[in-house]
Amino acid sequence: MSAAGTPTHCPYCALQCGMVLRPGGTAGVEVTEWPDFPTNRGALCGKGRTAAELLAPAGRLTTPLVRDGRGTPLRPAEWDEALDRVAGALTATAQRHGREAVGVFGGGGLTNEKAYLLGKFARVVLRTPNIDYNGRFCMSSAAAAGNRAFGLDRGLPFPLEDIAWTGCVLLVGSNLAETMPPVQRYFTAQRERGGSLVVIDPRRTATARAATLHLQPQPGTDLALALGLLHLAIAEGYLDEGFVAARTTGFDAVRATAMEHWPERVERITGVPVPLLRTAVKLFAQAPTGMVLTARGAEQHSKGTDTVQAWINLTLALGKAGRALCGYGCLTGQGNGQGGREHGQKADQLPGYRRIDDPDARAHVAAVWGVDPDELPGPGRSAYELLDCLGEPDGVHSLLVLGSNPVVSAPRAAHVEERLRRLGFLAVADVVLSETAELADVVLPSAQWAEETGTTTNLEGRVILRRKAVDPPALVRTDLEIISALADRLGHPGGFPTDPERVFDELRRASAGGPADYAGISYQRIAAEQGVFWPCPSVDHPGTPRPFLDRFATPDGRARFVPVRHRPVAEEPDAEFPLYLTTGRVSAQYQSGAQTRRIASLVEAAPSAFVELHPHLALRLGVDEGAAVQVTSRRGSAVAPARLTDTIRADTVFMPFHWPGAGRANSLTNPVLDPTSRMPEFKVCAVRVEAAG
Ligand code: SF4
């Protein structure tokens, strides 16, 4: 690493803030600003500022580990022994139970190159359909709705900077102030220019407190809320009939469903007073431009796809899509959540966002991979379904996990943990000994972020380049090297390069002609242009920051309205479980916390789980601030200190999900799935709360 530093990107969330790594600090590497990088302009949150501490050897894996038998401790091993064990176990499982009994579980933090090579490894070497990734738990409902309505899931169909210039933003189920603080600059600028921000969230979060208007619906009722706003928009004459006629199809059926959701009915369902509904729709409709942005609060439901569709329907009906400073967008969460869902580690996809059940897509990708299309497996099990079948007679018996920690992050986590323990064989490649790695038969220490080069695709669809700044510890290997070594041992010595740029060049060919076309993107272009927006089909193509200005990506170029109706959450409160639980994040921790729970300053800022509850509820339960409370759902219990706040509804409690053990929020969550996206209902379930004995 030169004294001038290495420009790269944060290892955590989908904003992928630019930063420059320089020699210095306790880990020998220091995070400094990259003032010119266009998304964050030098700003970083606490996680990004402390990211270099992850590179220090303390607390991370520095050698392979193997277990000699169930019940015996993990012990250090040579790479050859560890890799031989993995290859031998995967082969034995396939021979004994069939290829489908071998599973692969990836992560939304893996680079595009890793996600691509992992998908190819599963389909070409293991020939199993059972590969999926934890990004399924993140943005899959928005992706499904975006594909259905626009013919393309591009996260945000505009650069973040457009937010600063739009007239009104409806922000649904997002607490940006905690999850992506640097992005707030665009919202602040937007309001300074006279724009308005309407936040829809069951909690009065820091983001909601800064808004023009906050609507605080009952958890799980966003779909009804969107339908009610559309009803009012139609009734009050705000419909953009010209746009609907020229750029969309299917509005008549949507009008009929909206008219079934009159304001008083929606007030009864959501708890949001009719006058506030009227104010919200007026702010959005009367603004000359506007955007609707959703995040996990709207999406992580068993009706997440339809909920997002309802917001898209509202956006389209008011003509606020397909033109400058307008549109619907998903605020992707994980670092490479967008790229991770484009290049083949998802059960139903091939690289380039192609469908694995599309014969043309199979033929194209098979030609790039040099295999017969008929040899490629079909669609496999989605993430939760894959975890739920572990160890079952007709399920997965051997699992390879890369960069994911489902023991903490999966719904109904105690059940998933039990399934992982029942597996015939579990191998985990990760940077740290996560709670999932602790259960493994073989643990492979991976290089991370600043120790390797690779691309990610941020929430804007901008493909960016993480550059290697330092060497990994001596006995640590990159995930590409691990995949390549396993492919070698499993009889595929070619086709799995370890050089990330070679992998990316192959990915470009595999994606060419697909919806997420990277063919024209190169490492050189990314460096020179500070990222390139896909689709970018040729080297002389400028990239596509705003894909829907002229036409949508459907066959007829029109956006599709799809009728959707309100339906209750899968688990309504009752006498036994009388409250709603909703889950989410805090600013100092990231996802399952496997990395951030090892950074001292982040632990100091957010040391453990807590249960947020309204003072009225606390009074009724006889619970004081800081007292231990037990939260129980039909799936299990969690115990954590009470945090009293009047920013939450009195019928709802909140828990962050970053911690394992007694405070594990996902011990409680409901794995019921959205029928389209296969997203679990993380955001709402019925619970009972009591003072812990
Ligand atoms: Fe930026 Fe997200 Fe990293 Fe924070 S965690 S510095 S918001 S990329």
Tens digits of per-residue pLDDT, 228-274?
Answer: 999 999 999 999 999 999 999 999 999 999 999 999 999 999 999 99
Question: Which two structure tokens, joined as six digits, stand for 365?
Answer: 């990708």
How far apart (Å, rounded) are the C-alpha atoms in residues 290 and 284? 6
Q: Output 525-531 pairs: Cβ under 8 A, ≥24 positions apart.
A: 526/455, 526/463, 526/464, 526/465, 527/465, 530/18, 530/36, 530/37, 530/38, 530/464, 531/38, 531/458, 531/462, 531/463, 531/464, 531/465
| Global model pTM greater than 0.85 | yes
Question: What average pLDDT score do residues 6-14 get?
Answer: 95
Q: Which atom of ligand 1 is nearest to the CA of 13?
A: 2
Nearest atom of ligand 1 to the alpha carbon of 11: 3
From residue 379, alpha-carbon distances to 121, 438, 516, 674 in Å are 15, 30, 19, 17
Backbone angles phi, psi at 123, to 5 degrees: -80, -35
> In whole angstroms, what is the distance from residue 667 CA to residue 605 CA?
24
Are 571 and 634 a contacting pair, CB within 8 Å? Answer: yes
Of the candidates 431, 459, 489, 483, the one whose C-alpha atom is nearest the C-alpha of residue 135 is 459
Mean pLDDT, rounded, of the chain? 95
Residue type, 163: I
Judged on CB neighbours under 10 Å (0-12, 13-18, 19+), 309 is: buried
How much distance in Å is there from the Cα of 133 to the middle of ligand 1? 21
CA dist list (Å): 43 to 19, 31, 49, 181, 644: 9, 11, 9, 9, 31
Among 604, 591, 586, 671, CA closest to 636: 671
SS3 per-residue string spanning 294-350: ECHHHHCCCCHHHHHHHHHHHHHHCCCCCCCCCEEEECCCCCCHHHHCCCCCCCCEE
pLDDT digits (tens, 9 = 90+) for 168-224: 999 999 999 989 999 999 999 999 999 999 999 999 999 999 999 999 999 999 999
Residue 80, pLDDT > 90, answer yes
Average pLDDT over residues 634-657: 96
Q: What pLDDT, on the 0 to 100 scale, is given for residue 4?
A: 80
Range among 224-238, 334-348, 679-693 rated most confident: 224-238
For ligand 1, whether the C-beta of 16 sits within 6 Å is yes
Please give the full DSSP string across 151-173, using - where no structure is assigned. Answer: S---SSSS-GGGGGG-SEEEEES
pLDDT-derived band at 330 (thresholds 50, 70, 90) equals: very high
> In terms of C-beta density within 10 A (0-12 exposed, 13-18 middle, 19 or more buried), how is residue 370 classed?
exposed
According to DSSP, residue 34 is labeled -
- How much distance in Å is there from the Cα of 48 to the middle of ligand 1? 5
Q: Select from 383, 325, 336 the least CA-distant residue to 674.
A: 383
Residue 47: CB within 6 Å of ligand 1?
Answer: yes
Distance CA 632, CA 675 (A): 26
**What are the tens digits of pLDDT across the range 12-31?**
999 999 999 999 877 789 99
pLDDT at residue 35, as a whole number: 94
Centre of ligand 1 to C-alpha 379, Å, is: 33
| 278 within 8 A of 264, measured Cβ to Cβ | no
Distance from Cα 380 to the centre of ligand 1, integer Å: 32
What is the C-alpha separation between 525 and 221, in angstroms, rounded? Answer: 44
Query: Which of 94-98, 134-138, 493-497 bottoms out in mean pLDDT, i.e. has the lowest?
Result: 134-138
CA 408 / ligand 1 centre spacing (Å): 21
Reported confidence tier of residue 638, pLDDT bands at 50, 70, 90: very high
Query: CB under 8 Å to 237, separation ≥6 — which residues?
Result: none
Mutate which of 9, 160, 178, 180 for ligand 1 pocket (most atoms within 8 A of beta carbon): 180
CA distances from 236 to 274, 279, 574 (A): 14, 12, 37
Which of 17-26, 96-105, 246-255, 282-291 shows the lowest per-residue confidence on average (mean pLDDT)? 17-26
Cβ-Cβ contacts under 8 Å for 414 (sequence gap 6 or more): 635, 636, 664, 667
Which amino acid is residue 335, in one-letter code? G
Give CA–CA dist 41/510, Å, rounded. 33
Ligand 1 atom at shortest distance from the alpha carbon of 19? 6
Which of 9, 17, 21 is the pocket-test mutation for ligand 1 (most atoms within 8 Å of CB)?
17
**pLDDT tens across 26-77, in order?**
778 999 999 999 999 999 999 999 999 989 878 899 999 999 988 899 999 9
Question: b vs e for 598-619, b when ≥16 Cβ sit within 10 Å of the residue's Cβ?
Answer: bbeebeebbeebbbbbbeebbe
Segment 102-113 shows an average pLDDT of: 96
> Whose CA is closest to 151, among 438, 555, 624, 530?
555
Separation of 11 CA from ligand 1 center, angstroms? Answer: 8
Give the number of the atom of ligand 1 that is nearest the alpha carbon of residue 49.
6
- Hey, is 393 helix, strand or coil? coil
- Say what the pLDDT of residue 334 is: 86
Instruction: List 103's β-bridge partners, or say none.
Output: 399
Tell me the C-alpha to C-alpha distance, in Å, between residue 586 and each of 206, 480, 559, 609. 11, 32, 36, 10
pLDDT of 138 over the 90 cut: no
Residue 340 has pLDDT above 90, yes or no: no
Q: Spell 585-595 as b/e; 16+ CB within 10 A means b.
A: bbbbbbbbbbb
pLDDT band of 341, cuts 50, 70, 90: confident
Query: How far apart, in whole angstroms, are the C-alpha atoms of residue 202 and residue 65?
Result: 44
What pLDDT is stored for residue 28 in this prediction?
Answer: 84
Tokens 């009734």 map to which residue? 235
Residue closest via CA to ligand 1's atom 7 equals 180
Position 102 scores a pLDDT of: 98
What pLDDT is recorded for position 57?
79
User: If you take atom 2 of ligand 1, which residue's CA is the nearest one?
Assistant: 13
Percent helix / strand / coil, the chain, rounded to 5: 35, 20, 45
- CA 610 to CA 654: how far, in whole Å? 8
Does the Cβ of 12 fall within 6 Å of ligand 1? yes
The Cα–Cα gap between 605 and 628 comes to: 19
Other residues' Cβ atoms within 10 Å of the Cβ of residue 1: 16
As to burial, measured by CB atoms within 10 angstroms (0-12 exposed, 13-18 middle, 19+ buried), residue 574 is: exposed
Q: What is the pLDDT of residue 542?
A: 98
Whether 10 is in the pocket of ligand 1, judged by its Cβ within 6 Å, is yes
